[in-house]
């Protein structure tokens, strides 16, 4: 019985030591580059949005409630945010940023 178990263990160890073939596959990664970059800056309570002509500007509070939504109708626009102090989520197109009004 011991000889049988040892022969099985030896066979398994021998098979594990044999070289195996490994094939490499090429992967193609597609990166979606948005060359029309959108810039969002906040100075005091004035939000400056540039590079977002035709996009929709949406502002959410931390509870997820939309507090403002406007269509950006120029390449560079300034919006006076008459919002209470706090943190807000600004979404323009696919770009999302967190801003803090103090």
Q: How far apart are CA 55 and CA 90, in angstroms?
A: 12
Asked if residues 55 and 72 have their Cβ atoms less than 8 Å apart, the reply is yes
Q: What is the pTM for the complete model shown? A: 0.64
- Tens-place pLDDT, residues 60-98: 999 999 999 999 998 899 999 999 999 999 999 889 999
- Tens-place pLDDT, residues 6-18: 888 777 777 676 6
Q: How far apart are CA 46 and CA 44, in angstroms?
A: 6
Secondary structure class of 101 (helix, strand, coil) = strand
What is the set of domains in the chain, with CATH numbers?
38-102 (2.60.40.3080)
Secondary structure class of 7 (helix, strand, coil) = helix
The owner of tokens 């398994």 is 12
Q: How far apart are CA 73 and CA 92, in angstroms?
A: 12
**3-state percent helix, strand, coil for the chain, nearest multiple of 5:** 15, 40, 45
- Tens-place pLDDT, residues 33-42: 555 689 999 9
Q: What's the confidence (pLDDT) of residue 19?
A: 67
């Amino acid at each position: 019985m011991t000889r049988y178990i040892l022969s099985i263990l030896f066979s398994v160890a021998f098979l594990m030591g044999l070289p195996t073939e490994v094939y490499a596959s090429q992967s193609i990664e597609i990166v979606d580059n948005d060359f029309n970059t959108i810039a969002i800056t906040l100075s005091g309570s004035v939000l400056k949005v540039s590079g977002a002509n035709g996009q929709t500007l949406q502002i959410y509070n931390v509870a997820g409630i939309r507090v403002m939504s406007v269509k950006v109708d120029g390449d560079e626009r300034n919006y006076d945010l008459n919002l209470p102090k706090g943190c807000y989520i600004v979404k323009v197109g696919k770009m999302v940023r967190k801003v803090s009004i103090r």
